[in-house]
Structure 1
Amino acid sequence: MKEIQHRSDCPIAFSLDYLGDKWVLLILRDLIFTSKSSYGDFLNSNEKIATNILADRLKLLEANGFIKSSVSPEKKNKFIYNLTEKGIDLIPVIVELMIWGSKYDSYDVKDVVKKLGKDKEGTIRQLREKLSARINSDVPSNE
C-alpha cells in the first residue's frame, strides 16, 4: 500500500489524494449501492479489478478510516467490509458522481439514479441510515 503524500493544502487536492483512484471509487460504490461486502464480492464486479489492486485499495481505505473489516460470523477466514462514518460521509459525493455520469452515459439509467432524481435528499438519508445500521450491528470488528 502506498503512503498518502499530500501535495498541497487545497481541499480538492486533499480529497483526490484519497479518492482520486477509480478502484477506490468503485469499491465505495459497491459498498454504498450494493450488498457487496467481501473481497470475493468486489472481485466479481463488472470492472474486473485485479487481486493485487483490490487488496491494496482495501488496505488503503481501511488504514485511512473509510472502511473497517470484521471477521465473517459464518466463515472465520473471510472478512466483511463496511463503511465507517467517514466513509458514509462520502455518500453525497458518490451520488453526485453517479448523477453526473448518468447524464452523459449512453447506458440505461439505473433505478437508483431515477430514485435520486425524484428525491435525492431522501435517498441519501435512506442510504446513510442503512449503512449506519451496519456499523452499529453486532458483527465483531477486526481492529
Structure 2
Amino acid sequence: MEKDFRSGCPISSALDVIGDKWSLLIIRDMLIKHKKTFKEISDSDERIAPSILSARLKLLESYKLISKTKIPENKKENIYLLTEKGIRLTPIIIEFSLWGDTNMREFNEIDDIEGLNSDKSFVIQSVQDSYNSMLLNFR
C-alpha cells in the first residue's frame, strides 16, 4: 500500500491516516469495547459496510496502528489488536467523546458514557489499562 500524504504537516499526516469517517470508530470499538474480529467490529451501531471495514483495517494495519493475527483455537478467523501506536490514540478518542458529549447533545441523542466526566488523565489511563489487561488475558 502506497503511503501518500498531502503535506509534511503532522496534523495533515495524521488526518490522512485516521481522519476519515470510520477509522477512529473502528479504533474506539477495539479500544473501549474490546472488539477483535471482523464480525464484532462490523456489528457496531454505525453499520460500516464490509468492503469499507476491510479497506480501513488494511489501512490501519499498513500504518501499524493494528496488527492482524489468527485465533490460536481457530486458525481460520483473523483477530485484530491495537498496537502500542494504536493504543496511544486513547487521548484523542477521549477528547472526541468529551467534545461530542458537550457540543452535540442539542442535535442528537448522545449516549451517556460512565465516568467520562471524571479526571481526563484518569479516564485515559483507565481505558489504556483495561485494553492492555485484555491483551494480557488474551495472549
Deviation at 1:74, TM superposition (A): 3.2
After superposing on structure 2, the runs of 4+ consecutive aligned residues of structure 1 that deviate more than 3 Å are 133-139
Deviation at 1:134, TM superposition (A): 4.2
Cα root mean square deviation, aligned = 1.8
1:18 and 2:17 matched: yes
Conserved 8 A contact 1:39-1:79: yes
Tell me the SS of whatever aligns to 1:48. coil
TM-score, length of structure 2 as denominator length = 0.87
Q: Across the two proteins, how many residue pairs are aligned to each other?
A: 136
Residues 60-95 of structure 1 deviation map (CA, whole Å, 9 limit, x = unaligned): 111110011221133221111111000011100111
Distance 2:129 2:90 in 1: 11
Q: Which residue of 2 aligns with 1:116?
A: 116
Question: Bigger CA drift: 126-135 or 72-81?
Answer: 126-135
Distance 2:39 2:53 in 1: 10
Q: Residues 1-143 of structure 1 correspond to what in structure 2 (within 5 A)?
A: 3-106=2-105, 107-112=109-114, 115-136=115-136, 139=139
Conserved 8 A contact 2:30-2:41: no
Conserved 8 A contact 1:82-1:134: no
Matched-pair identity in %: 38
Q: Which amino acid aligns with 2:50?
A: T
Conserved 8 A contact 1:83-1:135: no
Conserved 8 A contact 1:67-1:84: yes
Tell me the SS of whatever aligns to 2:22. helix
Unmatched segments (≥5 aa) in structure 1: none
Tell me the SS of whatever aligns to 1:77. strand
Distance 2:15 2:23 in 1: 11
Unmatched segments (≥5 aa) in structure 2: none
Tell me the SS of whatever aligns to 2:125. helix
